[in-house]
Amino acid sequence: MKKFQKLLVAILAMLLVNIANALEIVDVRSDYWAGQEIVRAIQNGYIYVIDGNKFKPEETMTRSDFVTALLKVIQRQNEEVTQNTTFKDVDNLTPNKKSIVLSEQIRMAFGYPDKTFKPNLAINHNETMSFIANITKDDYVAGDITGFKDYKEIPLWAKRAWIKNVANGLYVNHPDVLSFTPNKDLTRAEAAVLFDRVANNLDKFKDIYRDLYNSAMNDEGEDDGFSFDKSTFIAENTLGLVPFATNNKVQIYDNKKVIETGNILIGTALNVVETRKDLVGHEYVFTAPNDVYTNEGTFLYPKGTEFYARVDKIGYSAWRSKAERSSIVFHKYSLPSGETYDMAAVPFTKDEKIVYVNDVKNPKKVKALTASKKSQKEYLIACAHQMMPLTEFNIKNGKTIYILLTSDMVLPQNDSYLQLRTRKSLLEEKDNDM
């Protein structure tokens, strides 16, 4: 069997060389470090040769060209555009306009704080990491990137994206494998390698950002209850749970509902949470105290939905080797029906302390904390203390806290709890039962 595998690898290698020669890429030698990935990128139509038969591997790539190629890799380039762009510098004359709007529509790209996209600007490594992290699954990753020589050069807003992508193997660093060069512009060769890694790891991407399956089938071929079919957008709703949340948008589709990043939910502790007794990996459970609806009356999730948080890391006293502060991170939620799905959230914090529901006496002061004029990423950093807050707290059983979503929360539609229904219809059902 091993001999056969070696033979197969050798044959594939020869085929790639022959294909490269057939493509006549005159500026990419057969022994070039990214040669095979470049060939595959051209074959799959992610990136094209330019100036006839040149690839120009060391040239940079624009932001609009990058999102156009990435949409092809995750097979979303043909999706229908259902919204207008909010980017001030994108109009009908902008190259790759559809790709830019699609990248905004699926929340892959958020642009700059001044509401621009800068389509013709060369994209750098930090920005590529951000785009990819935005559309990969939201399992919280407590990775360590301190082994890389230049990790301190990563800006605060891109730190979590690098941690997540390194854990998933979705990054490129050549020629020094111990350096990120985070602020360096991405070359076309690096892009080809990055796209190749994405294409080989589509299972790590959110299913709502892929259109690979016709039905919800798990590895055993059984229906797992979540439809991966292409979604049809229905409407945008507003979540009014917390008036001072910077983001209150909820996107309604025919097969799911998406509570966007930056919304704030409410959870009641089912067990005692105490900083000084925390252990890394310990799990806590919070529960929704009420049924949750949008302002428009769309039912989102029921009372009793459970939010699971685990201790990510612990800060110790400077004078005593005892736990003093800790970080808890929400990583999944479970419906009363038993269905469990991924989420990413942190407790809403201020001055390194968790904000409790009954502690908010002056919402205007809390609103100032949310930094509504900042970009979404800056807002999350301001509110969540670099996405991994070390806080000192005691949460008694029954205490209610605010939960800040650090990524979109997807609620599947099904017949048990998650149907599109209004308060009015529920009242009518109640009247009919009387």
User: Residue 79: what pLDDT?
Assistant: 85
Return the minimum-mean-pLDDT range out of 84-93, 114-123, 359-368.
Answer: 359-368
Q: What is the reported pLDDT for 170? A: 94
Distance, CA of 196 to CA of 114 (rounded, Å):
32
Counting every residue written for the chain, the total comes to 434
Distances (CA, A) of 138 to 34, 100, 142, 155, 341: 29, 23, 12, 21, 10
Q: Which residue has the higher pLDDT, 233 or 260?
A: 260
Determine the 3-state secondary structure of 385 from DSSP: coil
Question: What does DSSP say about strands 394-395 and 400-405: parallel, antiparallel, or unpaired?
Answer: unpaired
What average pLDDT does the segment 81-87 reach?
A: 88
| Residue 121 vs residue 434, higher pLDDT | 121
Say which amino acid occupies 27: D
Count CA within 13 A, CB hemisphere, residue 241. 29
DSSP string, 84-148: ----TT--TTSTTHHHHHHHHHTTS----TTS---TTSBPBHHHHHHHHHHHB---------TTS
- Of 417, 416, 403, 422, the closest CA to residue 357 belongs to 403
Kindly state the average pLDDT of the residues 378-395. 53
Please report the pLDDT score of residue 30 as a whole number. Answer: 82
Q: Angle between the 35-43 and 188-199 helix axes, to the nearest 10 degrees? A: 70
User: How buried is residue 264: exposed, middle or buried, by Cβ count under 10 Å (0-12/13-18/19+)?
Assistant: buried
HSE, CB side, 13 Å, CA atoms: give it for residue 277: 7
* Cα–Cα nearest to 191, from 247, 142, 129, 270: 129
Asked if 408 and 253 count as a contact pair (C-beta separation under 8 A), the reply is no
Residue range 158-188, pLDDT digits in tens: 887 898 899 889 999 999 999 999 999 999 9
Residue-level pLDDT at 17? 44
Indicate the pLDDT class of residue 344, thresholds 50, 70 and 90.
confident
**Would strands 349-350 and 394-395 be described as parallel, antiparallel, or unpaired?**
unpaired
Judge residue 361's burial from the number of C-beta atoms within 10 Å of its C-beta, 0-12 exposed, 13-18 middle, 19 or more buried: exposed
Between 271 and 76, where is the model more confident?
Answer: 76
Q: Where are the alpha helices (DSSP H) in 24-61?
A: 35-43
Q: Domain coordinates of the chain in residue numbers?
A: 2-209, 233-433
Provide the pLDDT for residue 47. Answer: 92
CA–CA dist 378, 179 (Å, integer): 25
